[in-house]
Amino acid sequence: MTHINNLKSTYYTLKTALLTIAFSFVSVFSFANHPTHSTTIDSTLVVAEKSHNSEAKTNNPHDENHGEEKFDINKTIMEHVADAHDWHLWGHTSIHLPVILYTDKGLDIFSSGKFNHGHDVYVGKYNYKNEHEKIHAVDESGNVLENVKVLDFSITKNVATLLISVFGLILIFLTVANGYAKRGIGAPKGIQSWLEPIILFVRDDIAAPNLGKHTSKYMPYLLTVFFFIWFNNMLGLIPFFPGGANVTGNIAVTMILSVITFVLTNINAKKAYWKHIFLPHVPLWLYPLMIPVEIIGIFTKPFALMIRLFANITAGHILVLSLVCLAILFKSFAVGFATTPLIVFISAIELLVAFLQAFIFTILSALFIGMAVNIESEEAHH
């Protein structure tokens, strides 16, 4: 018995030791994975000392010197969640993405490096200035020209990520399709066998129960939207290049997706769907109330889709970033070690949310389309 107990205690000691080592590795990696923050730590630490020493002299927190800005957690998080014209890699290294602007004078295409992180003015057909990732036309003295409309079609960080994910998804699924072409109805292999259950899940558990006999018609859209959202959610969770962008947490992207669902729902809707909206089964005196409610309902459903995906993914990013920023805010490695397990835990939950939100968006799209196209069979039941 004592022998076994000894073994047990040895095992637990080993396990604890291993876990400690693992966590310290994770924290090291997590700092390595957030090069911005590790460098920011260094600079803030230095800045802290510097500002402490030079407080009497300068007394100016918004110094022109880049390294001497005070750490603003709100600004940092918003910068990471929002879109950007540069793709920050580490320290002072970033990829300068192309800026494409359209004004009444025509197109202007140039590198975002020309802005020098918002410090410089680029002279094109107008003079352009990048103010907090929003590009304005300015006059010679740097004042914003309010009457010039600048349409920004730049390849931003999110657009670049979108293109990467589109390329990646095409590569992955052409490989899968090639697997089917090669093996026919034989057993799947490799990535094909890994993705097949998910494709079947989308078909049998998301599309088929809602769409019934119309399933095959909407499968391409549902599969694309599911894998597009999932892939981009996952990509967003990777803290370094080529991840890190908040694509599915951007309202423009979720808006496009929900607009497609909206259009698919309403152009394929059966007569009974419109009848249900404009001639509902209620007493006539309720019509002035019901018809507006039903009409609003057409729009609230995709609107909820758009907000849900955007809010969930953005909230996840903000949560993880806040935890990461804690260590920087407290200027302490101890806090970093303490928050690292929490960051790992939240990231694991975000991994689940990434799948869940893709699933929810797809199943609700299938549900809305299904409600519009299968309404006759529903009517028959009443």
Partner 1 sequence: MELVTPSIGLLFWSALAFFILLFVLGKFAWKPITQALKEREDSIDEALKSAEVARLQLESLKTDNQRLLNEARVERDKLLKEANEIKDQILAKAKSDAKSEGDKMISAAKEAIEMEKVNAMNQLKTQVANLTVDLAEKILRKKMEDRSQQEVFVNDSLKNITLN
Pick the closest to residue 317 from 232, 246, 252 (CA basis).
Answer: 246
Touching partner 1, residues 97-126 (CB under 8 A): 100
Helix orientation angle between 251-267 and 333-373, rounded to the nearest 10 degrees: 10
**Phi, psi torsion values for 173, nearest 5 degrees:** -80, -20
| Binding of partner 1 by 51 (CB under 8 A) | no
Give 3-18 as a DSSP string: HHHHHHHHHHHHHHHH
Q: In the stretch 189-228, what mask flags binding to partner 1 with x, by CB under 8 A?
A: -------x--xx--x------------x--xxx-xx---x
Considering only 89, 148, 198, 260, the residue that binds partner 1 (CB under 8 A) is: 260
First CA to last CA distance, the chain:
71
Which residues make beta-bridge pairs with 179? none
Considering only 1, 4, 56, 181, the residue that binds partner 1 (CB under 8 A) is: 181
Piece of 3-11, 171-179, 273-281, 370-378 that binds partner 1 (CB under 8 A): 171-179
3-state DSSP of 106-138: EEEEEEHHHHCCCCCEEECCCEEEEECCEEEEE
Cα dist. 295→61, 274, 287, 288, 307 in Å?
52, 10, 12, 11, 19
Question: Residue 262 in contact with residue 238, Cβ under 8 Å?
Answer: no
Greatest Cα pair distance in the chain: 88
**Phi, psi torsion values for 152, nearest 5 degrees:** -100, 105
CB of 173 to partner 1, least distance (A): 4
Question: How many residues form the binding site for partner 1 (CB under 8 A)?
Answer: 50
| Binding of partner 1 by 163 (CB under 8 A) | yes
Residues 6+ apart with CB under 8 A from 19: none
Piece of 12-20, 173-181, 274-282, 322-330 that binds partner 1 (CB under 8 A): 173-181
| Binding of partner 1 by 155 (CB under 8 A) | yes
Of 36 and 250, nearer to partner 1 (C-beta) is 250
| Binding of partner 1 by 83 (CB under 8 A) | yes
Considering only 14, 19, 166, 263, the residue that binds partner 1 (CB under 8 A) is: 166
Tell me the two tokens of residue 370: 């299904």
Pick the closest to residue 347 from 33, 2, 5, 66 (CA basis).
Answer: 33
Considering only 174, 279, 295, 304, the residue that binds partner 1 (CB under 8 A) is: 174
Per DSSP, helices labelled H in the chain are 2-33, 35-54, 73-81, 157-183, 191-201, 208-211, 215-237, 251-267, 271-278, 287-330, 333-373, 375-381
Of 32 and 256, nearer to partner 1 (C-beta) is 256
Question: Residue 80 in contact with residue 317, Cβ under 8 Å?
Answer: yes
Of 264 and 327, nearer to partner 1 (C-beta) is 264
Of 188 and 280, nearer to partner 1 (C-beta) is 188
Piece of 136-144, 167-175, 273-281, 369-377 that binds partner 1 (CB under 8 A): 167-175
| Binding of partner 1 by 283 (CB under 8 A) | no
CB of 46 to partner 1, least distance (A): 30
| Binding of partner 1 by 152 (CB under 8 A) | yes
| Binding of partner 1 by 299 (CB under 8 A) | no
Q: Enumerate binding residues for partner 1 (CB under 8 A).
A: 78, 81-83, 100, 132, 134, 151-156, 158-159, 162-163, 166, 169-170, 173-174, 176-177, 180-181, 184-185, 196, 199-200, 203, 216, 219-221, 223-224, 228, 247, 250-253, 255-257, 260, 310, 314
